[in-house]
Structure 1
Amino acid sequence: MPGANLTRTEAEERAGIVSNPKYTVSLDLTRGPRTFLSEAVISFDAARRGASTYLDLIASRVESVELNGVELDPAEVYRDSRIELKKLKAHNEVRVKAVCDYSRTGEGLHRSVDPSDGRVYLYTQFEVPDARRMYAVFDQPDLKASFDFSVVAPESWIVLANMPAQSTEAVDQRTEPGTLEQAPAEGCKRWVFQTTPTMSSYLTAICAGPYAQWTTEYANEDGRTVPMGLYCRQALKSALEKDVDYLFDITQKGFAFYAKTWGVPYPYAKYDQIFVPEYNAGAMENIGLVTFRDQYIFESKATGAKVNRRVETILHELAHMWFGDLVTMKWWNDLWLNESFAEFMSTLCTAEATEWSDDWATFCSGEKSWALTEDQLPTTHPIVAPINDLHDTEVNFDGITYAKGASVLKQLVAYVGRERFFQGIHNYLDKHAYSNATLADLLTELEATSGRDLKSWSAQWLEQSGINTLTSNVETDAEGRIAAMTIGQTAPEESPVLRPHRLAIGFYSKTAEGKVERTDRFEVDIDGASTTIDEVAGKVRPDFILINDDDLTYAKLRLDADSLDFARANLPAFEDRLARAVVLLSFWDMTRDGEYPAEDFVDLVLKTLATEHQSTTFRYALGQLSTTAHSYSAPARRPELLEHVAQGLWQLALAAEPGSDEQLQLTQAYLGYGDDQEFEDHARALLAGSSELKGLEVDNNMRWAVVHALAAQNMASDADIQNELDQRDTTENREFAMGARAVRPTRAAKAWAWDQALHNADLTNAQIEAAADGFSGSGDEDLFAPYVDKFFKAVDWVWAHKTFHIAETLLNPLSAGGLYPYKADPAALVRAGEHWLTDHEDAPKALRGMIIQNVEASRRVLRVRTYNQHVSK
């Protein structure tokens, strides 16, 4: 894998030598479609004279290196993405001039050409180690510095950086003929930006291109006026324009909520949000210049779940301006300090400061279910993860770091009290502003305000992996009163940690009108293997007892038998959306653990979907339904079950309110089956505008969903797909077309998709992902049988020749998609995977982790299928 892999030990050694770095970085973006010129001047102090260190840089050519006025030979000092610096003085200045490559993988300085109009767009993505792809740098978070950026670009472009522009001037500079695809004869301009505050290199950012722009401002709590901007490609201008006022309003609500909650006003000079193409992540918290994937601009109708997620993402990145940017982790083992906190705070802010007041139900259905999945894998890790090098960091952007950490922070707030928690956060931000901090620094402040000893709490919750299971046991006397109630706690053998939990117990009963409502609530502390709940003794037993009401703690739940039976019969009648989400997640967890029959779960979900209106709960229930029916059900009964699900979804779509969110989601889900005799008729009627689904808008994305679904059933040819693309050739539609071609369940289509994903160097990162996901998205065991061995033979080559993100896309841990042929015989996949792991005991931890996760997913499929084969229908 290209680029030196910085270890934690190396970073500590370099931080012991280098201090007070400052950067002046000049970029020339007018040299053509493949490369740009980067010049960096770095001044820094050295801990001792004569010491040696190195800069990080990934460049196609280093033209010159000058250290303290002495020219160095690039051929001698530049190797393995490092520039060696020897015989340092007390104060040093190094100048590096290099030719760097534009990225097509979303890492470094990415260059995208919009096929709809030929316009060129650039943006950066530097987390974890990719500032070095744009300029020479000490690329580690604890070597914070100030940065002066200047950029030469076509004069018609907008150029943005972390700080406002200080000046612009025309440049008498013409590129070689034809190198500017957009306007070869166009003049150029230099943008010079204000000096940044002290910050980490991975948070620097440059965006450039003919972006559409909207501006406003915010009256900051410290008396300053903060300029705000929104930006996107010109092709998406009309779509974003409809949402500009709403997105500014959401952002400003976040400014006010965070400033009030923490008592620290927004600290930076401006706040721009830019939507960019072919983006790998959801968004990135670059100081003053947040980048978002432009799938968050909705040209077609979006589900409520997606709109809700966009709000959460906006508020997540805004929270980072304080937690992660103003105060930054010292090393990547404390990445959770950034991500868990931003995830927790964005959910809290969304629920309390926006119209999405049920966002904790969204969190439970989406983020928490993600955490539960990853926390039960062999690759689970403590929230404070052991990070030995950059590759360890890259695979740490997972459900543990984000979702489990956020859930545990919710538990911590319940444990210490909200007011005391946020007073501690204020003190932490105030004390460590513009510097780096550790978990110990955070705990010090929280202990001071809460009066609790959090070292033991941290050792159990943050520094140990694994998830506890809480089991409710209820005894009732002859009069229907609770004689005794206990909550049992267990832990997995590989992580036998029993934790303290502050949780709520909810009593629920059915009303005369048929609704299930909460009638009482008790907050209790539990610890150890069994806790007696004295608070409920002697009370009349309700219809249903929820042992983690309001979802305050992080654990797997096993309800008592009577409550389980009641929920199975009455879940749709629960009035509280969060309670429904908690209970449904418990049923799903039992299903994927092989403790609840797949067909019973299918029927429960179909019944629940008939009345569910919480969009994210709806979305995840549909996903869990698909996994259960396609992967976990008994093979002998699967065809009948899939037909039952398909017909059930279609009937629910017909019954849904015309034009509703539920109708849209149900139709999208139905298209993922193709297992009923009417499927082709329904699909073609959607394309023709003659569907019996009244009120459903068949817009661009829905048309492509139908084309993809037809292709997955071998009902759409390459010519059909090309004809659809020819009607509107855009960045997004090229990705849709790639996926549709790859998803066709034929040997030729799979061979083509495999080759494209691995070997077509002209594809963008997003097109590679579409090809890989289409490859694995349809077909039976026989079709994928040849790819079991092919996959494991390709693993080493992918790791050696692709960037980390592309390798992760292709090898694809955890979920359906990528080139892992998860539809093949799971037993064959487990055998081949175990053989690879035995032969690769010394492979990088990150690579082994991907393979372990794939193998464990197949092993779970085997285990749950076996359970369901022995469950009577």
Structure 2
Amino acid sequence: MSANLTQLETAARAAAVTLHAYRVDVDVRDARDEAVTQFPVVSEIELTTTAPDTWIDFIGTVDGVTVDGEARPVDHDGARLRLTGLTTGTPIVVRVAGRGVYSRTGEGLHRFIDPVDGETYLYTQYEPSDARRVFPNFEQPDMRAPFTFTLTGPAQWWLGSNQHEESRQEVADGVVRVTFAPSQPLSTYITCLCAGPYHRVQDAWGELELGLLCRRSLAPYLDADELFRETKAGFGWFTTHFGDYPWGTKYDQIFVPEYNLGAMENPGLVTFTEAYLFRSTATPAQLQARCNTLVHEMSHMWFGDLVTCRWWGDLWLKESFAEFMGSHVSVEACGFDEGWVNFATGRKVGAYQADSMPTTHPVVAGIDDLEAAKTNFDRITYSKGASALTQLVHYVGLDAFLAGSRRYFAAHAFGSGTLTDFVAALDAETVQDLSGWIGAWLETAGHDTLRPDVTLADDGTVATLRIERISPDDARRPHATTVGRYGLVDGKLRLLGRDDVLIDADVTVVAVQDGAAGPDLVLVNDLDRTFAAVALDDRGRDVLLRHIGDLEPLARAVAWTALWTELRTGRLTSRDFVSAVLGAGEAQSGLLAAVLNWALTAVSRYTPEAEASVLAVAWRDGAREALTGAEPGSAAQLLWAKAYLSAAALAPQDVAWVLGGEVQGLEVSVDLTWLAWQSLATQGKATDTELDAVLAADDTAAGKVARLRCWASQPDGAVKAEAWRRAHVVGGETNEHVDALLAGVGALGQGTLRALFADAYFDGLESVWRDHPIEIAMRLVRGGFPDDGLGAGSDWLAAHPQAPRTLRRLVTEAVHEAEVAATARRD
């Protein structure tokens, strides 16, 4: 099957073929019957070609092909339908009838059966190249055309697409055929179909109809008032700065099950993961993260949808832009003041880690084919790119950045654009020279380290303050940022002064005011304006470990990231890091969630074996003390409760008291209940009968996933073997069930049991990659890597130089993380 597509061949196809219109008819009337695995589809594509031979993409079964009504032989290899002898120079209509396959992996047309009520729900997910799993098409972003979709399904279902419903016809008893209005020109990957008995709530923003949808069983968790508030605030900001909404008269946002992403920017029908429908009280950071995603996708209505990348090498441009806008607009328009704080210790830290790997790549990456595009939906593309754009905004100014964006949209509306096009639009709005900036920030891999060096005068004031820029290459990245000088005043760490600085040399002297007091801590980039590792001197590190809680939230985010980096590079011990987390009194929910996860990693992976059990007990007991001492009902109390439950799994201790109402103010939600049973299962203290009783009280999709993970977490070799087998059955478990099984096999403190599958893991890597859909294959490769796989992983890479490039990348990254852990564990 020739499922992979290269940039060169698709560019040649785009040069030869001009698309005029699609008419796509999908029939899901039988979707409720699980025995029915396929659905009928017909694509009619009007096009003009200058080449007599081309191909159409379709992963399914082709039943017939006509060109201008004349039947043609079917030449289909399972992915490409070849067309030959086409009339050139005049419009023709190609009609393909076939059958697609319902998905269980979140790729193409995904089918989900709700265990609560037995109802069936369908939705599509395509980026970058899975529209061809649903209908025959030209699967590349620069071949756009208007779409007219028709969807046939049960009359009582909600049937939806990018545009509003234009007509409805009853075609059989209880079956309707809905035709949607023609769209503006779209790329295939941002088209969308959804069908099922979805619960829908409606509102309006001016003349634009707004809709929110979810499964019926999740309707109690659809906080429509807040979601509509954020939606309206987002539209107010974007239309003010970018112009009118370009995609018609309606904007639906639908929450769907077993979703592989956070969300997808389909115009007029944006899909979101159901994880954003909180079944228990959400922390402020969780609410901000959801809003961030909501406005991220909304920004794509202009950058990404109105103007689409020509090929996936410019994927970063739309995603970096949307990532920046997610944080910026959630703060500026939606009222989440700490959006940039959460970005700093959430998405951005992931980008630092990815950028430190041997597989790092420039933000502007060469993407030769679709397989590479799939794995380049990564933290560098999103979060490092967004950090680079933050620097660009500081460099050219926000007004110029927004004006350049408007110019770009106007010049390339309903078409494709490139980085060169965007830079040209910015150039027209700023006096700054962008040529050097683009090369330094976007076309090089890796990131700089910024190290402070302060010299004091005899009277204790600052004589000189210099910043050393240490680069892994000769990129010479300029950093427009700040340097914070902090001192201990009456036992508290206080800001003494902050200096704006442009770091554009290997050593930059900071212009500090005469007579400035000597600092106890110099924190470079303390307002997090650039993308660079922040180095600490011995004095600064010691001060932070004892006083990090005294800093303001954004400076704390930078400082926590610096300590985390020092831990991962072996310059800080797990013991000291965990002590800092326990003593900081951190209350900002985004920061606290991040550092609690880091502390658990430090205890479970980064601690020397001789110290591991002692530190695990100290972390567990410290988490218990923080939980019982937290403000009742606070986000901190909830986060410490979750931290304690995980810690008790690693250093076994009873957790029933958490569920028994002994913690005043703690919401014992269904999610917290499952976490407690997860801890007990990992300790070997949960029977199947007990877990079945918990499931009976929460017999939902989320409950079944949690029950499966609990089962697989038991410290029983036979259970682990069966969980491993089930996860690897081709066409077996759904995407979320694979995750649950692998998480259970790799449960905390069970590295010895997990090691039993190391040989099977490495022996099966190539067959896993060959036999499974790429989404499942990536989960199996990442989730199955053994804890002690550094040596075996390195050996596998050396012995398999010809293995698929993307598979080698995933294994290389897992080996790198194992090496980081080994470095951190060294005494």
TM-score range, shorter chain: over 0.9
Which of 811, 815, 820 is residue 855 of structure 1 equivalent to?
A: 815
8 Å contact kept, 1:421–1:446: yes
Match of 1:565 in 2: 542
Match of 1:178 in 2: none
Residues 382-414 of structure 1: CA deviation (Å, up to 9, x unaligned): 001110100101101111011101111111111
Match of 2:198 in 1: 211
Residue 740, structure 1, aligned to residue 741, structure 2: no
1:497 Cα deviation from its structure 2 partner: 2.6
1:451 Cα deviation from its structure 2 partner: 1.5
1:541 Cα deviation from its structure 2 partner: 2.5
Residues 286-337 of structure 1: CA deviation (Å, up to 9, x unaligned): 1110001111111222333222211111111111111101111000011111
Residues 738-792 of structure 1: CA deviation (Å, up to 9, x unaligned): 1111111221121011011111744221111111121112343432332221111
Match of 2:485 in 1: 507
SS in 2 for 1:591: helix
Matches of 1:515 and 1:315 in 2, distance apart?
Answer: 38
RMSD over aligned CA atoms reads 1.6
Residue 593, structure 1, aligned to residue 573, structure 2: no
Matches of 1:169 and 1:775 in 2, distance apart?
Answer: 51
Matches for 1:690-769 after TM superposition, within 5 Å: 690=661, 692-759=662-729, 761-769=731-739
Match of 1:533 in 2: 510
* Cα distance, 1:536–1:373 mapped onto 2, change above 3 Å: farther
Match of 2:806 in 1: 846
Match of 1:238 in 2: 220
Matches for 1:174-213 after TM superposition, within 5 Å: 187-213=174-200
1:270 Cα deviation from its structure 2 partner: 1.6
8 Å contact kept, 1:67–1:85: no
Matches of 2:651 and 2:310 in 1, distance apart?
Answer: 59
* Cα distance, 1:670–1:342 mapped onto 2, change above 3 Å: same
Matches for 1:776-815 after TM superposition, within 5 Å: 776-812=746-782
Q: How many residues align?
A: 821
Matches for 1:427-576 after TM superposition, within 5 Å: 427-492=407-472, 495-510=473-488, 516-536=493-513, 538-574=515-551, 576=552
Residue 388, structure 1, aligned to residue 388, structure 2: no
Q: Which amino acid aligns with 1:570?
A: H
Match of 1:647 in 2: 621
Match of 2:85 in 1: 87
8 Å contact kept, 1:643–1:675: no
Q: Which amino acid aligns with 1:632?
A: Y
Q: Which amino acid aligns with 1:197?
A: Q
Matches of 2:244 and 2:465 in 1, distance apart?
Answer: 45
* Cα distance, 1:537–1:565 mapped onto 2, change above 3 Å: farther
Residue 661, structure 1, aligned to residue 609, structure 2: no
Matches of 2:730 and 2:621 in 1, distance apart?
Answer: 40
8 Å contact kept, 1:507–1:546: yes
Matches of 2:406 and 2:488 in 1, distance apart?
Answer: 44
Matches of 2:412 and 2:314 in 1, distance apart?
Answer: 15
Matches of 1:546 and 1:837 in 2, distance apart?
Answer: 40
Matches of 1:267 and 1:256 in 2, distance apart?
Answer: 16
Match of 2:47 in 1: 44
Matches of 1:302 and 1:509 in 2, distance apart?
Answer: 36
Residues 460-516 of structure 1: CA deviation (Å, up to 9, x unaligned): 110110010000000010112211111101122xx443311111122334555x654
TM-score w.r.t. the length of structure 1 is 0.92
8 Å contact kept, 2:258–2:273: yes
SS in 2 for 1:450: coil
1:519 Cα deviation from its structure 2 partner: 4.2
8 Å contact kept, 1:255–1:266: no
SS in 2 for 1:528: coil
8 Å contact kept, 2:758–2:786: yes
1:543 Cα deviation from its structure 2 partner: 4.1
8 Å contact kept, 1:485–1:536: no
8 Å contact kept, 1:646–1:675: no
1:260 Cα deviation from its structure 2 partner: 2.2
Matches for 1:568-647 after TM superposition, within 5 Å: 568-574=545-551, 576-608=552-584, 610=585, 612-647=586-621
Task: Give the unaligned 5+ runs of structure 2.
Answer: none
* Cα distance, 1:535–1:260 mapped onto 2, change above 3 Å: farther
Matches of 1:246 and 1:517 in 2, distance apart?
Answer: 37
8 Å contact kept, 2:111–2:120: yes
1:265 Cα deviation from its structure 2 partner: 4.5
8 Å contact kept, 2:128–2:189: yes
1:820 Cα deviation from its structure 2 partner: 1.6
Matches of 1:384 and 1:338 in 2, distance apart?
Answer: 12
* Cα distance, 1:398–1:770 mapped onto 2, change above 3 Å: same
Match of 1:179 in 2: none
Q: Which amino acid aligns with 1:722?
A: D
8 Å contact kept, 1:212–1:233: yes
Match of 1:686 in 2: 658
Identity %: 37
1:653 Cα deviation from its structure 2 partner: 0.3
8 Å contact kept, 2:730–2:771: no
Q: Which amino acid aligns with 2:371?
A: H
SS in 2 for 1:412: helix
Residues 182-202 of structure 1: CA deviation (Å, up to 9, x unaligned): xxxxx1011110000011100
8 Å contact kept, 1:251–1:314: yes
Residue 258, structure 1, aligned to residue 263, structure 2: no
Q: Which amino acid aligns with 1:684?
A: A
TM-score w.r.t. the length of structure 2 is 0.97
Match of 1:336 in 2: 316
8 Å contact kept, 2:730–2:772: no
1:3 Cα deviation from its structure 2 partner: 5.9
Matches of 1:527 and 1:217 in 2, distance apart?
Answer: 49
1:25 Cα deviation from its structure 2 partner: 0.3
Q: Which amino acid aligns with 2:540?
A: S
Match of 2:786 in 1: 821
* Cα distance, 1:471–1:393 mapped onto 2, change above 3 Å: same
Matches of 1:411 and 1:384 in 2, distance apart?
Answer: 16
Match of 1:180 in 2: none
Match of 2:19 in 1: 20
* Cα distance, 1:651–1:420 mapped onto 2, change above 3 Å: same
Q: Which amino acid aligns with 1:287?
A: P
SS in 2 for 1:16: helix
Which of 372, 391, 396 is residue 416 of structure 1 equivalent to?
A: 396
SS in 2 for 1:364: helix
Residue 78, structure 1, aligned to residue 54, structure 2: no
Matches of 1:44 and 1:519 in 2, distance apart?
Answer: 67
Greater mean deviation of Cα atoms: 296-305 or 708-717: 296-305
Q: Which amino acid aligns with 2:800?
A: H
Matches of 2:433 and 2:747 in 1, distance apart?
Answer: 50
Greater mean deviation of Cα atoms: 659-668 or 520-529: 520-529
Matches of 1:567 and 1:739 in 2, distance apart?
Answer: 38
8 Å contact kept, 1:484–1:537: no
Matches of 2:543 and 2:354 in 1, distance apart?
Answer: 29
1:261 Cα deviation from its structure 2 partner: 3.0
